[in-house]
Structures are given as C-alpha cells and as structure tokens.
C-alpha cells in the first residue's frame, strides 16, 4: 500500500538572500563613498558672519594653536613659506592661498605667515573662518 505524502508549500519569504543583498549594497556604498573631510590637522576656526562656504583651494597654510605651521599636510618653518608658496603657485591660473589659523594661535605668527605669503608674490590670499549666527 502506498501512501500519498502531503507536500507542504512554504508560505513565508526567505529573508536570507535579501539580507545578503542589502549588506552587499551597504558595503559597496561605504567603500566607494568619497569623504571630503577637513585635513587631519585639528584647528578650531574663529567664527565670522560673512564666512565663505565654498570648497577650499588646494594650497592651504594652517597655523595650529601651538604655533606649528603646515603647508598642505607638511610641516614648514616660517622662513620656508615664501619659497614653498612661490614654487607651488608657479604656472597656476588661480594664484590664491588660503590661511587657516586656530583662533588661539599667536596673532604675531599669523602676521608673519601673511607677510611670507605676500613676499612669495601672492596677493590673492584669504583667511578661513567658520560661519556663526548673527546676534541682534
């Protein structure tokens, strides 16, 4: 005697393949996401109500709270700034420099950096600030 088996049809959706696809998409977007973060040099910028929110130019001079000067990510001495900036600006259409100084950096050092940038022949420089709300 032969018995007929009841074949059960599953009435649920298997979620394992869906979870795999979601994790693969998550990994793809995490790996390919281009982060345009600020440089690794920790500087607290002073506030300004007229701050420019455009992306930074490639030539950036940073002055830390301790008085360390960086051109891009390379540490530099105050005496080397004029020559280095002049070399980096040679042959460029946009002859501009951005100076990022910590709000607690020595003002005298900031003035020396501005003087060195001017000595390099660059007259189009700007000081980077962050936007703060206006108080009435």
Question: pLDDT tier at 25 (50, 70, 90 boundaries)?
Answer: very high
**pLDDT single digits (tens) 90-99:** 877 777 888 9
Task: Give pLDDT, residue 33.
Answer: 77
Q: Where are the domains of the chain?
A: 47-131
**Is the predicted pLDDT of residue 129 greater than 70, yes or no?**
yes
**Is the predicted pLDDT of residue 56 greater than 50, yes or no?**
no
Instruction: Write the CB contacts of 93 (distance below 8 Å, at least 6 apart in sequence).
Output: none
**Is the predicted pLDDT of residue 7 greater than 80, yes or no?**
no
Q: Which fold has domain 47-131?
A: Nucleotidyltransferase; domain 5 (3.30.420)
Task: Give pLDDT, residue 63.
Answer: 92
Instruction: Write the CB contacts of 97 (distance below 8 Å, at least 6 apart in sequence).
Output: 57, 59, 60, 61, 85, 89, 117, 122, 124, 125, 126
Length of the chain as a residue count: 136
CA distance 16 to 65: 52
């Amino acid at each position: 005697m032969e018995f007929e088996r009841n074949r059960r049809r599953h009435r649920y959706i298997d979620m394992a393949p869906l979870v795999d696809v979601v994790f693969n998409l998550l990994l793809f977007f995490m790996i390919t996401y281009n982060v345009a973060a600020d440089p690794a040099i920790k500087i607290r910028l002073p506030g300004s109500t007229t701050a420019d929110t455009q992306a930074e130019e490639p030539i950036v001079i940073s002055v830390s709270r301790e008085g360390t000067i960086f051109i891009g990510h390379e540490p530099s001495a105050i005496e080397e700034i004029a020559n280095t900036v002049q070399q980096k600006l040679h042959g460029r259409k946009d002859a501009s420099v951005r100076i990022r100084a910590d709000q607690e950096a020595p003002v005298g050092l900031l003035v020396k950096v501005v003087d060195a940038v001017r000595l390099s022949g660059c007259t189009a420089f700007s000081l980077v600030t962050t936007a703060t709300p206006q108080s009435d």
